[in-house]
Amino acid sequence: MVYLHPVIKLEEWGKERGRVLLMGVLNVTPDSFFSSSRVLSPRLALEHARRMVEDGADILDVGGESTRPGSDPVGAEEELERVIPVIERIHSECNVVLSIDTTKAIVAREALDRGASVINDTSALRADPAMAAVVAARNAYVILMHMQGTPRTMQQAPDYVNVVEEVLAFLLERTRAAGAAGIPSERIFIDPGIGFGKRLEHNLALLRSIDRFAATGFPVAVGVSRKSFLGEILALPAEERLEGTLAVEAIAVARGADILRVHDVKEGRRAADTACLLRA
């Protein structure tokens, strides 16, 4: 059975409510960089999901494979074992949109068949040649993200001549590829991939230019929550980067971001709702 989430059309949801969409991070992995986001059983995942929904999450992003710098990939079978019970449990008990954070078509297909409606693909449909067809066939939403390299290698030697122009060109090319595969433009989101194959100066340049990405007409997703570039700025571990996270999230919203991918939903909701009032 293929589930169609009854709640929203994502492209209309934020506009109707005059707010940014918040995507709460739900990592079903033992090795995500921020320990408080890890939940290793369907029961704990459901409890965490309920808290995030109560705190204002519009979407929950379930991931079974870490994409932190230096991480190794996991096999499809293991990823499925991690995420599918969680998606089924949350879908049956929470009224929230579900996203699956994966680059594998088989994982995306199973997740969509069990209640997810968004594919968050950090490879922008490049890692698995079957992914675009799955998204198109299920009429799912897709987030296309820029990453230089792979999670294992991406932070070894990131290099750009003009990071904003190169990331923007890449994402526009990927939207064209998605469209050619039959994915409607209104179901495509773009993500500049903060922290994915970028040095501090690259991340800051992209964040200063969110309006350039918003000007493409595609909704823009931004994920900065507690990432290592904030650690470079603040000289603090992930557990102490909340204030820096909120500052950057507010600026991203003011410059046109449509989705924030967050660990701290309550705080992120308040920051985003306030920052929305500062949009030009």
**Residue 226 DSSP one-character state:** T
Token look-up 């890692």 returns 127
Four-residue CA torsion sign, 38, 44, 49, 50: negative
31 is written with which tokens?
Answer: 């090795």
49 is written with which tokens?
Answer: 């999901």
Contact of 222 with 167, CB cutoff 8 Å: no
Three-state DSSP state, 25? strand
Answer yes or no: 266 catalytic: no
Token look-up 């449509």 returns 258
Candidate list 68, 89, 261, 269, residue with the active-site label: 261
Kindly report the backbone phi and psi dihedral angles of residue 97, in degrees, each rounded to the nearest multiple of 5, phi listed first: -75, 135
- Percent helix, percent strand, percent coil in the chain, to nearest 5: 45, 15, 40
Answer yes or no: 261 catalytic: yes
Candidate list 109, 227, 255, 269, residue with the active-site label: 227
Of 13, 114, 118, 8, which Cα lies nearest the Cα of 61?
Answer: 118
**Cα atoms in the 13 Å half-sphere on the side-chain side of 3:** 20
Token look-up 């190169």 returns 166
Cα 25 to Cα 32, 185, 214, 274, distances in angstroms: 11, 25, 23, 21
So which residues are the catalytic ones?
227, 261
